[in-house]
Amino acid sequence: MEMKRLTERVYMTGHDHATDRPALGAIVGERATLIVDSGNSAAHARLFLEQLAAVPGAEPRYLALTHWHWDHVFGAAEMDLTTIAHPLTQQKLRQMQSYRWDDAALQERVQTGEEIAFCAENIIKEHPGALRESIAIRPADILYDGRLTVDLGGVTCEIFSLGGEHSADSTAVYCPQEQVLFLGDGMCQEMFEGPWSYDLPDYEARLQKIEGLPCKWYVNAHWDPQNADDFARAAAQMRALGKLVGAETDSVRVYAQYRRQYGAEPDEAAREILDSYLWGNRKRGRQPLR
């Protein structure tokens, strides 16, 4: 995960699926640097800070958390910066301060639905052995309401609420001068209530919050960065397949409709999207029009 220069003032390290490390970002101003997300461990945070130290003029002062999920906040104590978050993120951070992270505690939270197996497995992989005893949850210092602008000197960051089914506290960080938008997991599926799923109205609501922003780059925490054309194509596919599924809950009918509409079998990416919308409809008890 080498640090890459995305634009003149924006740097990032990529995601790593091995232990679910998300992409992290840095917006470098003339007076201060703002980091987007803290990583999924103290080790992840240290690696990022070590690489950022080689960037001329980078003076880390602020940390913006995109939401409360473990892989985005476990490095905050190690970074120890002035931390900005949504009030709902802060509530979860306060709650997590009382958690234990041993195998038994993780398994208990999986059974009660507070945690999912995917996250528990990656917490264990990222923190082998006694490392889990050192997990520390650092709450935020600044809570924003709706929107917050941070002036870093020569460049600003617009921090605003994205919300959505992945996590109600989802926050985006936009740098208008560099035309870069950090989305965290804000465009991802719902993960905690059974199979991972999408809801088209929910996805559309999130998309409407960002569509008017001039952007050269969109950074999703667990995907490669997308330029404007790639993001537009991906969003168009999400909309088209969501409309194809409609309120349907039967995969046989949906796949047949896909073949009629596109004249081919759906590829792996399309199948994942179709299945996610199907599960979203099943969770909501929707009935298709006949």
pLDDT, tens digit, 9 for 90 and up, residues 193-211: 999 999 999 999 999 999 9
Q: Nearest 10 degrees: CA dihedral of 111, 95, 174, 56? A: -110
What lies within 8 Å, CB to CB, of 162 at 6+ separation is: 170, 171, 172, 183, 184, 186, 206, 209, 210
User: What residues does 160 pair with on adjacent strands?
Assistant: 147, 172
Q: Report the alpha-carbon distance of residue 115 to residue 234 in Å, rounded.
A: 29
Q: What is the pLDDT of residues 222-249, one digit of tens each?
A: 999 999 999 999 999 999 999 999 999 9
- Domains contained in the chain, CATH given: 4-227 (3.60.15.10), 237-283 (no CATH)
User: Over its length of 290 residues, how does the chain's per-residue pLDDT go in tens digits?
Assistant: 799 999 999 999 999 999 999 999 999 999 999 999 999 999 999 999 999 999 999 999 999 999 999 999 999 999 999 999 999 999 999 999 999 999 999 999 999 999 999 999 999 999 998 889 999 999 999 999 999 999 999 999 999 999 999 999 999 999 999 999 999 999 999 999 999 999 999 999 999 999 999 999 999 999 999 999 999 999 999 999 999 999 999 999 999 999 999 999 999 999 999 999 999 999 988 766 44
DSSP string, 125-183: HHS-GGGGGG--PPPPSEE-SSEEEEE-SS-EEEEEE---SS-TT-EEEEETTTTEEEE
